[in-house]
Amino acid sequence: MDPESAAVGIAGLLPLIARAAKTAAEYKDAVISAKASIAALTTELDALEDSAVELYEFLKGESLTSSNIRLHRPCLILSCTAGCEAKLKLLCRKLSQDGNGRRNRFLWPFSEKEDQKIIQELHTFTTWMHFASSVQGCRLLSRPLNDVMDILENQLGQLRAVQLPEHMSKNPDTVQAQQLLLVETRARQVRQATLDWISTTRYLERHEALRLSRAKGTGDWILRNPDYIRWRDGLDTASTLWCHGKQGSGKTNLVSIIVDNLLHIHSDPPKPVAFFYFDHQDQAAQHPSTVLACLLRQLVEQLPDIPHSVGSVYENSNTKGALPEFECQRLLTELLRDRKGAYIVLDALDEYTSDYRTSLLQTIAQFSKVSGARVLLTSSHETQEIPSTLRKHQSVKIVAQEADIKRYIRQELGAKGVYELADDEFVGQLVQKLAEGADGMFLLPVLQLQGILREPTLGDMEDSLKNLSRGLNEVLGETIARIRNLSDNRSRVGMLTLMYLVHAARPLTAAELSDLLAIHADRKRVEQKYRPTTRMILECCQGLVTIDGKTGDVRTSHSSIQEYLLANDERLFPRAEAIFAINCLRYIQLSDFETGPWDTGAEIKSHMDKYPFLNYATRFWGKHAYPSEADAAVQAQLSSFFRSRAATAVTNQVRQFAMGRKKDYWSPEECLSFTPLHHACRHGLLRTAEGLLDEGTIDVNQATKQRATALIHAASSGHVDIIRLLMERGADPYLCNWYGNALHCAVQAGFVDTVRELVLKWGMNPTYTGKHRTYLGCTLDRDAADAFETLIDLGVDINTEKGWGRATGGTEDDVELDDLHIFLEACSTGCYRIVDLLVSRGWVDVNMKSPDGWTALHWAARGRNLTIVKKLVEAGADITARDNEGILALDLVQQSYDPPALEFVLGSYIQGLRKGYGSRAQQGDRWGTPVSQRGDP
């Protein structure tokens, strides 16, 4: 018997392990007394899963094939696999408590002795799988049990003959040291995992890059500023300091100096510091929840141990999913309140999108109010939200100091070797004139200096100094002119770089940009020799571009430059989107990728590493083709792209792989079944889709291997005009993939216009009674409240929607879920926007109960959704309600959250309830039994 046959049996264990782990996790929040046992069981199941995957891959791998190992019948591998399967099935039945309702998730089904036995058995299975995942171990375990015992007995005799003296093998100091090392290592791993779960924003890299770029000795004046000193030392009644000034006045460099100063203040206890640099080119990574999580991570990172409140949230999250924003706010408030005198520094708020700026400022102001945290903000004069939101604040006007400008200029002159060409008189004139014309900005003299230093001779430098431009826009215009006057290839590199930075869907790394700049119509493959170096890119951009030394991202040197380029976009880059789209498509069609699609993730990753621009090109080509579809050159490139089966397949494969999708979505079979029509409809390319349909070579209802039609892709992306075209050409809106039909997908994605189009114009019935979930139920996946409201407007009856969004009358397996009203399901699954809609509109009774007597509060507490608990309480939900077995909503809420969490969200309301309702000793425990009448546990 070959090892691959045994791999099939190992693969069959994985669903059982996953089921057991999932079911055990359902007990975690409800059974406080068994929390340690549950954690130990899930840890052992995780280890077993890792070993099973390791063994499966080993049995399927090449190393075993070359070893000519054959499995005997019977052998230990097969018998142990069968034994493991039997134990896992028994464990799953016990955990599921077959025949009992969901409320028995409050009773752990094992005694302490049974817990220990189960964990030991699982550990044994984990050990033999790990042992079998080597050629030597597999060779041994491929034999029958008796043969293995004979071999081991022989080896044991040999080991006894050479064993170490007893005093050496049982040295207590050595054992204790090893145990301590293991404990410390595990603690470090948990700490790092918790910090990474909170936030992965690379805040220190940005700060270090700024610190290293500062001219020595510049900016120190801010540390001597009386307003700053009073704010820092807590001598001012206003806890917020607003530093504002012109764009380019050096505010960000000053912030880096301030952060260093605050981090090195010696106080007892130390005062924590959290900071964030906003970036005009990276708005996608600056959602308020991301910013707050970054601040929280910094506060936690400065503590010797992870606070209990943070660790509790991390454990209850099962380490999956992002930290909820309300929890982040609560934890920040708690940490700031506990550690008085903390500092929060936010730089360049004017570079933050106005959609979020006010709400973030309000949150920060609340932190300061309740905790006494001292807040420093920087922005330009135009950021009016700061004075209107933070009414009580001090302000400092930031103006580039003449002494700093002169110091910076002299440092640059020395670095460029100007003193070897010029005498002191010229250098003095240069420094003085640039400093005098700075107009309160660093950026202006910096750009002027860069222009002068690029002149070839001293005489040319003197002439340039005499004809110095005065305004920033004038200097930027002259710099662009210099780039255009470079040699053809250098000019092309410089102007294309600026164009790409302005129009890119996300920040580009230096490697990606270099790869992109090497694309040429006449080149059919990627050639290293045509990739410009980072230094060459910087030279060709004449100081308008910089490279982040820590992240490798390329960016304009200042937001003012980005604004200038955007304001002059049509004049400077008239076909920017078309050029971007064409080069993305050209890149994908290079001969380097003709071997795709590839069979394994390792192959895909290898190509992404070798060809840096591949990820961006496959992900965003459609974003650039959409606004430029009418361009004749774009049309020609699209036609060429669609004629290449390898290119279209690789594009979908790399895109799905890079987005973290499971293999079903990036398998070669799925990607080869992804037609040009699917691509065009996914990206909203109406003209292209129409042309493809006119050709008649692609059926409008043709589906991929995963059963996705062009209409499903258009609906999932919100392209109403594409949907109209497809429906006019005979598309069937009821064809389904695994999730559902076109309307299911539109509802889940929250595209209201698409939903209305499919229902009102094309007659799809919004009241679904098929085998898939109801349309209203699909809104729960992404808390799509707008789509939920639209379906109600279109005639869906809330009261017929039950059971995880399934229509009533589902299969036998769905009976328990079918009994649950969609409002209660929304409370349980954390759909705050939908719950808010239902409650605010008065569409539901907030004290509605499920058949087992659970109210909305019970379900919200079960799902650990504290914001929903708050919403329900404010709307009049009865927190003293009991279910059919006497479980109090109040007790369930109190059991589900730490007291600080309840205090943060419900405030004094929960305290009043406790006083009015009485203590648990008087009223009974959560099972309704008075504590005084209960026996021993």
- The verdict on 314 and 244 lying in the same domain is yes
Please list, residue by residue across 630-653, b when 16 or more beta carbons sit within 10 angstroms of its beta carbon and e when fewer do: ebeebbebbeebbebebbbbbbbb
pLDDT band of residue 906 (cuts 50, 70, 90) is low
pLDDT value for 101:
46
Residues 6+ apart with CB under 8 A from 473: 564
pLDDT value for 169:
46
Domain end residue (candidates: 165, 188, 206):
165
Of the candidates 539, 484, 537, the residue with the CA atom closest to the CA atom of residue 512: 537
Which range of 8-12, 293-297, 875-879, 908-912 scores highest in mean pLDDT? It is 293-297
- The verdict on 284 and 217 lying in the same domain is yes
CATH number reported for the structural domain that contains residue 369 in this entry: 3.40.50.300
Q: Is residue 221 part of a domain?
A: yes
pLDDT value for 823:
94
> Is beta strand 240-245 parallel, antiparallel or unpaired with respect to 343-347?
unpaired
- The verdict on 431 and 489 lying in the same domain is no
Q: What is the mean pLDDT of residues 737-759?
A: 95
* ∠ Cα 704 705 709 (to 5°): 25
- The verdict on 430 and 499 lying in the same domain is no
User: Would the CA dihedral through 706, 788, 807, 321 be positive or negative?
Assistant: positive
User: In terms of residue numbers, what domain contains 79?
Assistant: 3-165
pLDDT value for 159:
44
pLDDT value for 814:
40
* Angstrom distance (rounded) from CA 34 to CA 27: 9
Contact yes or no for 442/250 (Cβ under 8 A): yes
Amino acid at 728: E
Query: 595 or 450: which carries more pLDDT confidence?
Result: 595
CATH number reported for the structural domain that contains residue 862 in this entry: 1.25.40.20
Q: Is residue 81 part of a domain?
A: yes
Inter-helix orientation angle 402-415/424-436, to 10°? 140
Contact yes or no for 653/604 (Cβ under 8 A): yes
* Angstrom distance (rounded) from CA 561 to CA 563: 5
Of the candidates 399, 453, 472, 401, the residue with the CA atom closest to the CA atom of residue 215: 401
Is cis: bond before 269, omega within 30 of 0?
yes
- The verdict on 292 and 263 lying in the same domain is yes
Residue 902 above 90 pLDDT? no
Residues 6+ apart with CB under 8 A from 676: 641, 642, 648, 688, 692, 698
Q: Is residue 678 part of a domain?
A: no
* Angstrom distance (rounded) from CA 750 to CA 839: 20
- The verdict on 367 and 342 lying in the same domain is yes
What are residue 545's DSSP bridge partners? 556
User: In which element (H, E) is residue 545 found?
Assistant: strand 545-547
**Looking up tokens 């004075």, which residue turns up?**
387
CATH number reported for the structural domain that contains residue 526 in this entry: 1.10.10
Contact yes or no for 864/828 (Cβ under 8 A): no
The overall longest dimension of the chain from CA atoms, in Å, is 101
Least confident of 122-126, 624-628, 656-660: 122-126
Length in residues, the chain: 937
Domain end residue (candidates: 521, 540, 574):
574
Query: 924 or 481: which carries more pLDDT confidence?
Result: 481
Domain end residue (candidates: 111, 146, 165):
165
Least confident of 58-62, 756-760, 815-819: 815-819
Q: Which two tokens stand for residue 799?
A: 């009261």
Q: Is residue 823 part of a domain?
A: no
Q: Is residue 810 part of a domain?
A: no
Q: What are phi and psi of 270, to 5 degrees?
A: -60, 145
In the DSSP assignment, the letter for residue 164 is P
Cα→Cα distances 279→273, 283, 290, 325, 506, Å: 20, 7, 13, 21, 12
Count of beta carbons in the 10 Å neighbourhood of residue 616: 21
- The verdict on 220 and 156 lying in the same domain is no
Residue 1 above 70 pLDDT? no
Counting Cα atoms < 13 Å in the Cβ hemisphere of 499 gives 23
In the DSSP assignment, the letter for residue 220 is G
**Looking up tokens 């390792």, which residue turns up?**
602
- The verdict on 211 and 337 lying in the same domain is yes
Residue 548 above 50 pLDDT? yes
Please list, residue by residue across 114-142, b when 16 or more beta carbons sit within 10 angstroms of its beta carbon and e when fewer do: ebeebbebbeebbebbbbbbeeebbebbb
Q: How many domains does the chain divide into?
A: 5
Q: Which two tokens stand for residue 722?
A: 């594409």
Inter-helix orientation angle 325-338/354-371, to 10°? 30
- The verdict on 856 and 895 lying in the same domain is yes
* Angstrom distance (rounded) from CA 828 to CA 467: 70
Contact yes or no for 740/746 (Cβ under 8 A): no
- The verdict on 287 and 422 lying in the same domain is no
In the DSSP assignment, the letter for residue 761 is I
What are residue 398's DSSP bridge partners? 245
Is cis: bond before 597, omega within 30 of 0?
yes
Q: What is the mean pLDDT of residues 174-200?
A: 74
In the DSSP assignment, the letter for residue 457 is S
String of DSSP letters for 277-294: E--TT-GGG--HHHHHHH
Contact yes or no for 825/804 (Cβ under 8 A): yes
**Looking up tokens 């020799």, which residue turns up?**
529
Residue 170 above 70 pLDDT? no
Which range of 58-72, 487-501, 520-534, 885-899 scores highest in mean pLDDT? It is 487-501
Is cis: bond before 74, omega within 30 of 0?
yes
Cα→Cα distances 831→343, 469, 799, 865, Å: 34, 57, 18, 9
* Angstrom distance (rounded) from CA 850 to CA 690: 50
Residues 6+ apart with CB under 8 A from 792: 776, 798, 843
Of the candidates 277, 287, 294, the residue with the CA atom closest to the CA atom of residue 351: 277
pLDDT value for 668:
95
Residue 816 above 70 pLDDT? no
Helices (H), 135-287: 135-141, 145-162, 166-169, 172-198, 203-213, 226-232, 251-263
Amino acid at 301: E
String of DSSP letters for 293-316: HHHHHHHHHTSSS--HHHHHHHHH
**Looking up tokens 């404010």, which residue turns up?**
874
Residues 6+ apart with CB under 8 A from 863: 827, 828, 829, 830
In the DSSP assignment, the letter for residue 102 is G
Q: What is the mean pLDDT of residues 300-304?
A: 90
Residue 95 above 90 pLDDT? no
pLDDT value for 401:
84
Amino acid at 850: S
Which range of 355-364, 712-721, 777-786, 923-932 scores highest in mean pLDDT? It is 712-721
Q: What is the mean pLDDT of residues 186-201?
A: 85
Q: Is residue 442 part of a domain?
A: yes
Q: Is residue 607 part of a domain?
A: no
Least confident of 132-146, 504-518, 615-629: 132-146
* ∠ Cα 142 146 150 (to 5°): 95
Q: What is the mean pLDDT of residues 236-253?
A: 83
Residue 167 above 50 pLDDT? no
Amino acid at 206: R
What are residue 554's DSSP bridge partners? 547
Contact yes or no for 823/856 (Cβ under 8 A): yes
In the DSSP assignment, the letter for residue 351 is G
Q: Is residue 761 part of a domain?
A: no
Of the candidates 703, 763, 714, the residue with the CA atom closest to the CA atom of residue 738: 703
pLDDT value for 714:
97
Cα→Cα distances 131→1, 5, 83, 148, 571, Å: 20, 18, 17, 13, 67
Q: Which two tokens stand for residue 663?
A: 């293999």
- The verdict on 216 and 326 lying in the same domain is yes
Q: Which two tokens stand for residue 510?
A: 């230096």
Q: What is the mean pLDDT of the chain?
A: 82
- The verdict on 142 and 278 lying in the same domain is no
User: Would the CA dihedral through 857, 862, 863, 869 be positive or negative?
Assistant: positive
At 849 the three-state DSSP class reads strand
Count of beta carbons in the 10 Å neighbourhood of residue 591: 11
Of the candidates 722, 729, 725, the residue with the CA atom closest to the CA atom of residue 751: 722
pLDDT band of residue 540 (cuts 50, 70, 90) is very high
pLDDT band of residue 393 (cuts 50, 70, 90) is confident
Contact yes or no for 290/356 (Cβ under 8 A): no
Q: Which two tokens stand for residue 316?
A: 């209850």
* Angstrom distance (rounded) from CA 684 to CA 753: 14
